[in-house]
């Protein structure tokens, strides 16, 4: 028996998102299948029929949830960007003054999670990097996500400066942009372009040291000079 949520609809009548739990699962299957097909074939050579077949669905079912290959790719890309953007300076616990670990240890853990996720998603991230160079929608979505991440990082740096735990002479906007670019580009060179041959923990350590040194992070604010 065919689920009504799996049937194709005429142009202009496709509902926004699945309307039932089964519809949500079907949509999720299509997204996962699309990710696998894009990883294997790239964007240009991927076909909607390949995605439908991988998801074990009819060709018409695809069009119930997505209008085109471009639309499903943009959603796949958005999901990967959202996943990677969770590893921010704020999430690393740097601002937690009661933590028992050092700031360098907490930042190392944040970098470790980011790099591990990027490594695991390197196949699709390489395709996203390529498509973002000519697809305005993908590029705009990535920039919007990056802008949100940059704002969080900028605010974290400002708070650390106010607490006396980061270089007070740094411009938070420039520092956030430079560090974010360094981390993301480092991951791309390492896992997508295979330009680096590194032990994983050594890569985490070196990247963390660069971030700590750039911000001049310290666990406690310096003591005020003694009164004369």
Mean pLDDT across the stretch 153-170? Answer: 92
Q: How many angstroms separate the CA atoms of 159 and 154, rounded? A: 9
Q: Over the chain, what is the mean pLDDT?
A: 85
Confidence of residue 19 (pLDDT cuts 50, 70, 90): low
44 phi/psi in degrees, rounded to 5: -65, -35
Confidence of residue 8 (pLDDT cuts 50, 70, 90): very low
Mean pLDDT across the stretch 163-174? Answer: 94
Q: Which residues contact 89 (CB under 8 A, 6 or more apart)?
A: 107, 110, 152, 153, 156, 157
The pLDDT tens digits for 37-47 are: 999 999 999 99
Tokens 């980061």 -> residue: 166
Share of the chain above pLDDT 70, in %: 82
Q: Is 147 strand, coil or helix?
A: helix
CATH domain 4-67 topology: Arc Repressor Mutant, subunit A (1.10.10)
Q: Give, as one character, the DSSP assignment of residue 83.
A: H
Q: Residue 197 class from Cβ within 10 Å (0-12 exposed, 13-18 middle, 19+ buried)?
A: exposed
The pLDDT tens digits for 113-143 are: 999 999 999 999 999 999 998 888 888 888 8
47 phi/psi in degrees, rounded to 5: -125, 150
The pLDDT tens digits for 198-208 are: 999 999 999 99
Closest C-alpha among 41, 98, 109, 105 to residue 69: 41
Q: Could you state, in order of their start, the residue ranges of all structural domains in the chain? A: 4-67, 75-215
* pLDDT at residue 225 tops 90: no
Q: What is the pLDDT of residue 32?
A: 95
Report the predicted TM-score, pTM, of the whole model to 2 decimal places: 0.79
The pLDDT tens digits for 58-106 are: 888 899 999 999 999 999 998 888 777 766 555 556 666 666 888 899 8
CATH domain 75-215 topology: Tetracycline Repressor; domain 2 (1.10.357)
Share of the chain above pLDDT 90, in %: 55
Q: How many angstroms separate the CA atoms of 84 and 145, rounded? A: 10
Q: What is the pLDDT of residue 143?
A: 85
């Amino acid at each position: 028996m065919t689920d009504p949520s799996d049937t194709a609809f005429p142009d202009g009548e496709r509902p926004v998102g699945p309307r039932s739990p089964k519809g949500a699962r079907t949509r999720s299957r299509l997204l996962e299948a699309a990710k696998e097909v894009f990883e294997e074939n790239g964007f240009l050579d991927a076909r909607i029929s390949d995605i439908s077949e991988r998801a074990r669905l009819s060709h018409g079912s695809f069009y119930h949830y997505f209008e085109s290959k471009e639309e499903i790719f943009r959603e796949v890309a958005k999901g990967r960007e959202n996943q990677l953007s969770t590893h921010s300076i704020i999430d690393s616990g740097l601002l937690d003054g009661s933590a028992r670990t050092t700031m360098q240890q907490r930042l190392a853990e944040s970098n470790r999670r980011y790099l591990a996720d990027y490594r695991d998603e390197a196949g699709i991230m390489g395709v996203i990097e390529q498509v973002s160079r000519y697809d305005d929608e993908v590029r705009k979505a990535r920039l919007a996500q990056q802008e949100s991440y940059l704002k969080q990082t900028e605010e974290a740096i400002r708070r650390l400066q106010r607490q006396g735990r980061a270089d007070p002479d740094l411009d938070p906007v420039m520092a956030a942009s430079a560090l974010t670019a360094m981390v993301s580009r480092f991951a791309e060179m390492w896992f997508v372009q295979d330009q680096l041959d590194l032990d994983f923990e050594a890569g985490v350590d070196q990247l963390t040291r660069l971030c700590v040194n750039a911000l001049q992070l310290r666990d406690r604010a310096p003591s005020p000079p003694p009164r004369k």
